[in-house]
Structure 1
């Protein structure tokens, strides 16, 4: 498996990509076709649905960017890391990824800190 931090950095780069064409290319390169994404607020399967989820986050939080809060770790086919969104990271979460053949097959996301309203 690719180093856990590389996987996490590529994942964060996808979520920060505002150009839909580049984002779809990143999905094709780094995610299996049947990849799944689920967190407490949204879920999707396949490149088109996951791309729509990322686009929805950009629409809701224009100009916000994701960043890793500390280096990722992993074992076997699993990678976990914590991230922050926005200036000063008012929104924080942790994700666990399942990697298959070097590509992301599944993401399970958790929201650790979400401001009221």
Structure 2
């Protein structure tokens, strides 16, 4: 079984990384080349697609940071973990849970669920 803490921690680090070169290195380490990401609001494929999603979230929510909520769990080739998103040092504004399929220690597919979103 892959190290779930390492995978979830790397995933969160990638979503928080604002430097494009460092983010690219994290994407390479955490995701397979053909990664597929889906949630109710967006989708992206491959490192470039996921990187563009991350960039979009960072532009929409400047100064916000992702953090793990609790500990990741999983079995076989599946990981589940929850996260918070909000201004650093403040209560989260958005929360979610992601389910991923692991292949050779990296995420191949990620399906995201939004557990808490601000009122429109």
Band the TM-score falls in, shorter-chain normalisation:
over 0.9
Distance in 2 (alpha carbons) for counterparts of 1:71 and 1:36: 23
Q: Give unmatched runs, 5+ long, in structure 1.
A: none
- CA distances 1:51-100 after superposition (whole Å, capped 9, x unpaired): 00000000000010001110110101111011110031120000001110
Q: Say which SS state the counterpart of residue 21 (structure 2) adopts.
A: helix
In the alignment, is residue 102 of structure 1 matched against residue 119 of structure 2? no
Q: Say which SS state the counterpart of residue 62 (structure 1) adopts.
A: coil
TM-superposed CA distance for 1:5, in Å, is 1.9
The normalised TM-score by structure 2 is 0.94
Q: Give unmatched runs, 5+ long, in structure 2.
A: none
Structure 1 runs of 4+ aligned residues shifted over 4 Å read: none
Distance in 1 (alpha carbons) for counterparts of 2:36 and 2:51: 11
The normalised TM-score by structure 1 is 0.96
Q: What is the aligned-residue RMSD (CA, Å)?
A: 0.9
Specify which structure has the higher proportion of strand. 2
Distance in 2 (alpha carbons) for counterparts of 1:5 and 1:78: 13
In structure 2, the residue matched to 1:37 is 37
In structure 1, the residue matched to 2:116 is 113
In structure 1, the residue matched to 2:53 is 53
Number of residues paired by the alignment? Answer: 117
In structure 1, the residue matched to 2:20 is 20
TM-superposed CA distance for 1:112, in Å, is 0.5
